[in-house]
């Protein structure tokens, strides 16, 4: 049994929720109030951040990108990384450089000047990539899609960003939302 220390509003935790759901992993969810964190939570992650997962008898594991990779190795089916090493590296690079999307997203949330243009440019880069391949992970859905979709969903549903100008991205999101794991996350975002 795995425990997930979670915050529904957290897009990093969303990555982990989605991977757990895609792989059908049974999980106990402990919601952490980030505005009033329990002192014991710092024993799970000295940085005090969610997400953290904990397998019974194992040390707690923070950092969403590391957790996604761990879950992929621990529960290989269904695979969420491509087989080809170059494709795997390309998927990992998108996650490693997630701040290409998240920095403009948070700037937009803070209503900084020029943020809208920067966020649109980030969406434009993803749209161009999705014009060449059906998923950010390559030919198949996978971790790069899971790694970035939480911010795209939140931008659309919480910040009112229109995706009409990004047809390949809008089509990708529509396909992703047909997956129960992503639809569930969209439901969480709608209720925030
Ligand atoms: N690099 C971390 C970032 C996690 C993160 O920033 N979580 C936020 C919530 S979305 C958090 O716990 N913030 C509380 C804090 O920074 O004190 C990851 O990928 O897991």
CB 24 within 8 A of CB 18: no
Cα–ligand 1 centroid distance for 11 (angstroms): 9
Predicted model pTM:
0.98
pLDDT of residue 120: 97
Query: In Å, what is the CA distance from 167 to each residue of 92, 94, 127, 183?
Result: 24, 20, 7, 20
Each residue's pLDDT tens digit, 1-20: 899 999 999 999 999 999 99
Catalytic member of 7, 10, 155, 173: 10
* pLDDT at residue 145, rounded to an integer: 98
Query: What is the per-residue pLDDT for 68?
Result: 98
Cβ 34 under 6 angstroms from ligand 1: yes
pLDDT for res 162 = 96
Q: How far is CA 11 from CA 77, 137, 147, in A?
A: 23, 18, 9
- DSSP reduced 3-state for 124: helix
Phi, psi of 29 (to 5 degrees): -105, 125
117 given a catalytic annotation = no
C-alpha angle 133-138-139 in degrees, rounded to nearest 5: 75
The per-residue pLDDT for 62 is 98
List, run by run, the mean pLDDT of 10-residue segments along the chain (192 residues).
97 98 98 97 97 96 98 98 97 98 98 97 98 97 98 97 97 98 97 94
């Amino acid at each position: 049994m795995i425990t997930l220390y979670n915050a529904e509003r957290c897009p990093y935790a969303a990555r982990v929720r989605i991977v757990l759901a895609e792989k059908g992993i049974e999980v106990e969810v402990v919601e952490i109030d980030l505005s009033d964190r329990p002192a014991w939570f710092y024993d799970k992650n000295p940085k005090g951040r969610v997400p953290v997962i904990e397998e019974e008898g194992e040390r707690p594991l923070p950092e969403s990108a590391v957790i996604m990779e761990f879950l992929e190795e621990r529960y290989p089916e269904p695979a969420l990384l491509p087989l080809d090493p170059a494709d795997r590296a390309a998927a990992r690079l998108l996650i490693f450089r997630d701040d290409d999307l998240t920095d403009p997203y948070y700037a937009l949330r803070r209503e900084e000047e020029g943020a809208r243009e920067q966020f649109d440019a980030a969406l434009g880069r993803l749209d161009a990539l999705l014009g060449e391949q059906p998923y950010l992970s390559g030919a198949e859905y996978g971790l790069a899609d899971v790694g970035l979709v939480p911010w795209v969903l939140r931008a659309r549903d919480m910040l009112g960003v229109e995706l009409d100008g990004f047809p390949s991205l809008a089509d990708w999101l529509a396909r992703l939302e047909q997956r129960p794991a992503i639809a569930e996350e969209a439901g969480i975002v709608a209720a925030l």
